[in-house]
Amino acid sequence: MRSAEEYAELMANLKLSNPKMMDVAVPANTRQGLAQEAIAARGWAVTAAGAIGLLGKPDVVLIDLRERTERAKHGSIPGALHAPYPDLQDNIRAGGMLHELAAATGKRMLFYCAFGERSAMAVQAAQDAGIANACHIHGGMGAWKAAGGPSA
């Protein structure tokens, strides 16, 4: 497109119905990618190369937040615990699997997802729930694979 006006004219000519929840969707889309930067600024992010160096360490547990179908299609990091993002709130609350694992072992919890957005949000939620040793792989499984990390 040569201009915003040309784009607006093109869209108007498509005769599409007005999208639902535009007031929610547009702001959410413009914030996409900002969660990872905010988490990195707090020191709660690990590069993929750094995460590869943590693989197999006894004081670190990797937590895969992706859905089962994503894991089947794209593989997972060997030894990672599967705790899908939709179940996060149940897992990080007192009595939840991840909360109890962190409390019992003191292990560093290294979250990851496909590209790092869900895991960045999970780190913030975990920190808010009192899991102070939570961090994530910046860039997620995509960055992990690009850095040559193993996958099963």
Mean pLDDT of 7-34: 62
Q: Which are the contacts of 140, defined by CB distance < 8 A and separation ≥ 6?
A: 112, 113, 114, 115, 116, 117, 118, 119
Q: Tokens 């109890």 map to which residue?
A: 100
What average pLDDT does this structure show over 104-112? 97
- For the stretch 28-34, contacts whose Cβ atoms lie closer than 8 Å and that sit 24 or more positions apart, written own/partner, are 32/117, 33/117
Average pLDDT over residues 5-28: 66
Secondary structure class of 31 (helix, strand, coil): helix
Task: Show the domains of the chain with their CATH numbers.
Answer: 34-146 (3.40.250.10)
pLDDT interval class at 88 (50, 70, 90):
very high
Name the phi and psi angles at 46, rounded to 5: -125, 135
DSSP calls for 32-51: TTHHHHHHHHTT-EE-HHHH
Whole-angstrom distance, CA of residue 103 vs CA of residue 121: 20
Average pLDDT over residues 9-34: 62
Q: Tell the burial category of 100 from Cβ atoms under 10 Å away from its Cβ (0-12, 13-18, 19+).
A: middle
Q: Is the pLDDT of residue 30 over 70?
A: no
pTM (2 decimals)? 0.78
Token pair for 84: 């899908």
| Per-residue exposure over 130-147, b if at least 16 CB sit within 10 Å of its own CB, e if not | ebebbbbbbbbbbbbbee
